[in-house]
Amino acid sequence: MGDFNEILTRSVKEGGVMKSERQINEFKHTLNDFMLRDLGYRGCPFTCCNGRTGLERIRCHLDRCTGTTEWLSLSPHAIVTHEISGVSDHCPMRLSLLGRPNQEHKRRKVKIFEAMCVKDARCEEIIKALWHGRNQRADALKVLPK
């Protein structure tokens, strides 16, 4: 969590000199090299503003929360919120690990199909149950070896 001082797309910067595609891609590759995934956010898309107005104003999304796939699986309800700051040029970020799954902006759970599961006789039944959202974790654990 913090100020990476880089952007992931040109759409998250307004004003000032635009970063080159090469620089943006290098940041994306760096996150991938460390197997970090952006957690997303609620609130304003811009986390940094130079405090000016008009043509001199620069706003961008420099601050972000990232996690590994393993961390994301351990914290499936994590929610990042960009708060409003009246003091700093960067907005404070709040990371809540106990978000409720039925909240309006919940992240969708990714359903991954593993080819090895086809060998299990209950594969079709479990996939149907998972696809329809019935007790996902319990059903998935039935297939995993201990």
Three-state secondary structure of 12-65: HEECCCCCCHHHHHHHHHHHHHCCCEECCCECCCCCEECCCCHHHCCEECCEEC
Residues 95 and 120 in one domain: no
Residues 13 and 53 in one domain: yes
Residues 86 and 116 in one domain: no
User: What would the pLDDT profile of 62-110 be if each residue is shown by its tens digit?
Assistant: 999 999 999 999 999 999 999 887 788 998 999 999 865 555 555 555 5
Domain that includes residue 51, residue range: 2-107
Residues 119 and 72 in one domain: no
Contacts for 85 with CB less than 8 Å, ≥ 6 apart: 91, 92
The structural domain count of the chain equals: 2
- This prediction's pTM: 0.61
User: What would the pLDDT profile of 9-57 be if each residue is shown by its tens digit?
Assistant: 999 999 999 999 999 999 999 999 999 999 999 998 999 999 899 999 9
Residues 102 and 47 in one domain: yes
Helix (H) or strand (E) holding 13: strand 13-14
Residues 30 and 91 in one domain: yes
Nearest residue to 78 via CA among 53, 41, 123: 41
Residues 95 and 126 in one domain: no
